[in-house]
């Protein structure tokens, strides 16, 4: 135990000798060499690297919990050399990851190059050695564009051996099944359509069955209420003419338009008693016929505020 000098106790300080320093140094050197790392006096992190490398090689039959804990800390601290593309991420780590057979639950952290654009981006922590695996979120759910946020975003990726995929633990768009509300129309109060939605057009519009496969499947099961498109590669999406009112459909009728009309009504008027009607037998008999002035638009519509109707795809 090291002690300070204490004159009151007549105690000298602990003497640091060359023999003691050499002994400590050799203990540390042996750990670094045990991990087969070449000594480098300019690198003060070699002991940590050696311990990380040896813990990463722990067999699952041994202290597996310790292995996972060390790996999580290792790769969180490491700044991965991220290359590849936003939807095909490639990273390199030290110690190198050489296999995934015993890596269930291993967590890696990488800085994204750019947002993902597809629902099925891939990742490999050792290109050429470990195959690219699909990145999912939650319970094997596909990502949505932007779940891996912009450049510099730290993506937390956990390997799931059962799925044989990487699970994004911090998706920017949250963990919501993309198909939970496909086909539902929502009213949005802003001018920009939210991700995963399409603004309803004001005229008959067809969509690609391949690009919007989930929305197509919903409408196909309902008998294509908004049109079959070309019958092969497209289908009709919901649409609302500009400034039309949305009406509740009874049994059937979804997707059909209504024709506006004025409710039946009468106008009261007065005429002088004893004066012949303006028309008799189809011709003017007495008096002068005068039409009122006309104002208004081409059809009836309700007054209100405009919002954006969007359909989930």
Domain segments of the chain as ranges: 79-168, 179-251+305-313
Predicted pLDDT of residue 270? 55
For residue 234, name the pLDDT band (cuts at 50, 70, 90): very high
Q: What is the CA radius of gyration of the chain?
A: 37
φ and ψ of 210, to 5 deg? -75, -45
Over residues 118-147, the pLDDT tens digits come to 999 999 988 889 999 999 998 888 898 889
DSSP string, 269-309: ----TTPPPSEETTEE-SS---PPP--S-SS--------EE
Tokens 């597996």 map to which residue?
64
Over residues 189-199, the pLDDT tens digits come to 888 888 889 99
Mean pLDDT of 262-267: 72
Range in 19-33, 95-109, 289-303 the model is least confident about: 289-303
% of the chain with per-residue pLDDT over 90: 27
Expressed in percent and rounded to 5, the helix, strand and coil fractions of the chain are 15, 20, 65
User: Does 297 or 305 have the greater pLDDT score?
Assistant: 305
For residue 289, name the pLDDT band (cuts at 50, 70, 90): low
Whole-number Å distance between alpha carbons of 36 and 43: 15
Residue 237 has pLDDT above 80, yes or no: yes
Over residues 61-96, the pLDDT tens digits come to 444 444 444 444 444 333 444 666 888 988 877 667
User: pTM of the predicted model, to two decimals?
Assistant: 0.41
Tokens 């400034």 map to which residue?
243
Closest to 313 (Cα-Cα) out of 187, 161, 199 = 199
């Amino acid at each position: 135990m090291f002690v300070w000098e204490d004159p009151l106790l007549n105690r000298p300080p602990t003497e640091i000798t060359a023999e003691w320093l050499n002994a400590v140094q050799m203990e540390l050197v042996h750990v670094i060499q045990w991990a087969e790392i070449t000594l480098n006096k300019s690198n003060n992190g070699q002991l940590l690297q050696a311990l990380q490398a040896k813990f990463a090689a722990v067999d699952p039959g041994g202290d597996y919990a310790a292995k996972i804990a060390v790996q999580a800390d290792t790769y969180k601290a490491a700044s991965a050399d991220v290359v590849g593309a936003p939807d095909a991420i490639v990273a390199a780590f030290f110690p190198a990851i050489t296999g995934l057979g015993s890596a269930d639950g291993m967590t890696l952290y990488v800085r994204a190059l750019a947002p993902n654009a597809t629902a099925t981006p891939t990742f490999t922590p050792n290109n050429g050695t470990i195959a690219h695996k699909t990145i999912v979120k939650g319970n094997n759910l596909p990502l949505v564009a932007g779940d891996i946020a912009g450049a510099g975003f730290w993506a937390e990726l956990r390997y799931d051996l059962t799925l044989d995929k990487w699970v994004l633990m911090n998706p920017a768009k949250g963990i919501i099944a993309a198909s939970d509300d496909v086909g539902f129309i929502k009213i949005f109060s802003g001018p920009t359509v939210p991700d995963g939605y399409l603004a309803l057009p004001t005229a008959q519009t067809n969509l690609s069955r391949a690009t919007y496969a989930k929305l197509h499947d919903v409408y196909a099961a309902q008998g294509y209420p908004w049109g079959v498109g070309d019958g092969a590669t497209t289908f009709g999406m919901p649409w609302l003419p500009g400034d039309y009112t949305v009406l509740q459909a009874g049994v059937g009728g979804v997707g059909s338009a209504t024709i506006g009309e004025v409710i039946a009504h009468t106008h009261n008027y007065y005429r002088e008693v004893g004066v012949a009607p303006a028309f008799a037998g189809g011709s003017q008999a007495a008096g002068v016929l005068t039409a009122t002035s006309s104002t208004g638009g081409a059809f009836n519509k309700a007054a209100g505020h405009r919002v954006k109707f969007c359909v989930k795809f």
